[in-house]
Amino acid sequence: MANDDHQRIIGLTGGIATGKSTVSDYLAQIHHLPVLDADVYAREAVALGSPILATLYQRYGRDILLDDGCLNRRHLGTIIFNQPDEKRWVEQQIHPFVRQRFTQVRSEYPVTQPLVYAIPLLFEANLTHLVSEIWVVTCTPEQQQQRLMVRNQLSEAEAQTRINNQNSLSQKVAQADYVLNNANTRANLYQQIDAILAHPKSTKA
* Domain regions of the chain by residue span: 1-34+109-205, 42-100
Q: How confident is the model at residue 204 (pLDDT cuts 50, 70, 90)?
A: very low
* Exposure b/e, 80-101, CB count within 10 A at least 16 = b: beeeeeebeebbebbbebbeeb
- Confidence (pLDDT) at 134: 97
Least reliable range by pLDDT among 59-68, 110-119, 181-190, 192-201: 192-201
- pLDDT of the residue at 4: 52
Q: Enumerate the β-bridge partners of residue 115.
A: 9
The candidate with the shortest Cα–Cα distance to 96, out of 165, 41, 162, is: 41
- Give the confidence band of 1 by pLDDT, cuts at 50, 70, 90: low
pLDDT at 81 over 70: yes
Average pLDDT over all residues of the chain: 93
Q: 54: alpha, beta or left, given left = phi > 0 and alpha = psi -120 to 50?
A: alpha
Phi, psi of 163 (to 5 degrees): -65, -40
Share of the chain above pLDDT 70, in %: 95
Cα-based angle 134, 135, 136 (whole degrees, multiple of 5): 115
pLDDT value, residue 6: 82
- Give residue 205's pLDDT: 41
Q: How far is CA 104 from CA 34, 111, 133, 154, in A?
A: 14, 14, 20, 35
For residue 203, what pLDDT band results from cuts at 50, 70 and 90? Answer: very low
User: In the prediction, which pLDDT does 171 show?
Assistant: 95
pLDDT in tens, 28-76: 999 999 999 999 999 999 999 999 999 999 999 999 999 999 999 999 9
Average pLDDT over residues 85-92: 95
pLDDT score recorded for residue 165:
84
**How far is residue 187 from each of residues 4, 150, 160, 184, measured CA to CA in Å?**
35, 22, 28, 8
Phi, psi of 111 (to 5 degrees): -65, -25
Residues 88-109 have a mean pLDDT of 96
Planar angle of CA 106, 131, 8, nearest 5 degrees: 70
State whether CATH 3.40.50.300 applies to domain 1-34+109-205. yes
Residue at 1: amino acid letter: M
- Considering the chain, what percentage of its residues have pLDDT values greater than 90? 85
- Mean pLDDT value of segment 158-171: 91
